[in-house]
């Protein structure tokens, strides 16, 4: 299945044994906003997964980092996710935190996953069944981990990419980019919101994404590193690239939050002055 599933397709799949729906709504400035939204109403049968509490490494020096693969697998199994499970993730913005979950599943080696096209607003508009009671606790799943480390870059990987002249794209939203004032040297702008369809709120077509990347000189066979402020918007871009056939993209998980915390690392002011 591709990276998107429609509200109608999901509605037809609800109740199937191997389908698990995760509500991953989350607020950057209000960490409990998503949980409150879930309690007010959610896709019937969906489980709530908190990006920080359930799906991030509590021991990392950088907030919001992906847990070690085995640790993440155990967390996902609590939602009933196993090797044969089709995972559907949604949030208020179809390719924000939900895309982060799809990327993490791919790093684990689990490709049976999709985003609800249009997210929660599309579900309401389609008249999909809604519930406000928590979904019953599922039987734990059994998720085999076959890691794909090439999909997740660490700081040392980015340093090697810079030395090798590999493409590096900064996927921060405009307001985050502007407020930071700096970026990793040589990084080109690829704001994640630009990869969406303004009318539907979903991903733009794969053809348009390929055209956009070709204009930036990137081909499907090229290796590329994506980063943002903390790994979420870069995951958003990664899903768009993957859907367009760019299989050699990785997400720098620490992103600018980690890079900027190390004064010894190079950075460049917007406009070209290196520091």
For residue 85, how many other CB atoms are within 10 A of its CB? Answer: 23
Task: Assess if residue 274 is contained within a domain.
Answer: no
Structure tokens at 124: 């309401």
User: What is the rounded CA–CA span in Å between residue 272 and residue 268?
Assistant: 6
Model confidence at 68, pLDDT cuts 50, 70, 90, reads: very high
Same domain? 134 vs 257: no
Tell me which residue of 73, 64, 82 sits closest to 26, measured CA to CA: 64
- Which CATH number does the domain housing residue 155 bear? 3.40.250.10
Average of pLDDT values for 9-13?
A: 97
Domain boundary among 147, 175, 203: 147
Model confidence at 1, pLDDT cuts 50, 70, 90, reads: very low
User: Is the pLDDT at 182 greater than 70, yes or no?
Assistant: yes
Average of pLDDT values for 15-38?
A: 92
For residue 275, how many other CB atoms are within 10 A of its CB? Answer: 10
Task: Assess if residue 211 is contained within a domain.
Answer: yes
Tell me which residue of 147, 17, 1 sits closest to 80, measured CA to CA: 17
- The residues carrying an active-site annotation are 228
What does the pLDDT look like over 108-122, one tens digit per residue? 999 999 999 889 999
Domain that holds residue 240: 150-269
Same domain? 143 vs 162: no
In total, how many domains does the chain have? 2
What pLDDT does 94 receive? 55
Bridge pairing between strands 249-252 and 224-227: parallel
What pLDDT does 93 receive? 67
Q: Please state the pTM of the whole predicted model.
A: 0.93
Task: Assess if residue 275 is contained within a domain.
Answer: no
Bridge pairing between strands 47-48 and 19-23: parallel
């Amino acid at each position: 299945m591709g990276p998107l599933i429609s509200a109608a397709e999901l509605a037809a799949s609800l109740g199937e044994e191997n389908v698990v729906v995760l509500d991953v709504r989350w607020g950057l400035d209000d960490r409990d906003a998503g949980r409150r939204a879930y309690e007010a109403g959610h896709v019937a049968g969906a489980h709530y997964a908190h990006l920080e509490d359930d799906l991030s490494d509590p021991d990392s020096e950088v907030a919001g980092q992906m847990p070690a693969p085995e640790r993440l697998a155990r967390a996902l199994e609590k939602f009933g996710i196993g090797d044969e499970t089709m995972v559907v993730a949604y949030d208020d913005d179809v390719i924000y935190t939900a895309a982060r979950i799809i990327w993490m599943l791919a790093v684990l080696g689990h490709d049976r996953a999709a985003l609800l096209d249009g997210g929660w607003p599309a579900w309401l508009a389609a008249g999909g069944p809604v519930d406000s009671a928590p979904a019953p606790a599922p039987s734990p799943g059994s998720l085999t981990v076959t890691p794909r480390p090439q999909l997740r870059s660490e700081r040392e990987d980015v340093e090697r990419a810079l030395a090798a002249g590999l493409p590096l794209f900064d996927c921060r939203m405009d307001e985050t980019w502007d407020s930071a004032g700096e970026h990793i040297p040589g990084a080109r702008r690829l704001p994640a919101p630009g990869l969406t369809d303004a009318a539907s709120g979903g991903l733009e077509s794969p053809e348009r994404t390929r055209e956009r990347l070709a204009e930036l000189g990137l081909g499907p066979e090229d290796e590329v590193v994506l980063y943002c402020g903390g790994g979420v918007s870069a995951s958003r871009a990664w899903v768009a690239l993957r859907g367009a056939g760019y299989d050699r993209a990785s997400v720098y998980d620490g992103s600018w939050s980690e890079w900027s915390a190390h004064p010894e690392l190079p950075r460049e002011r917007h406009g070209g002055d290196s520091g």
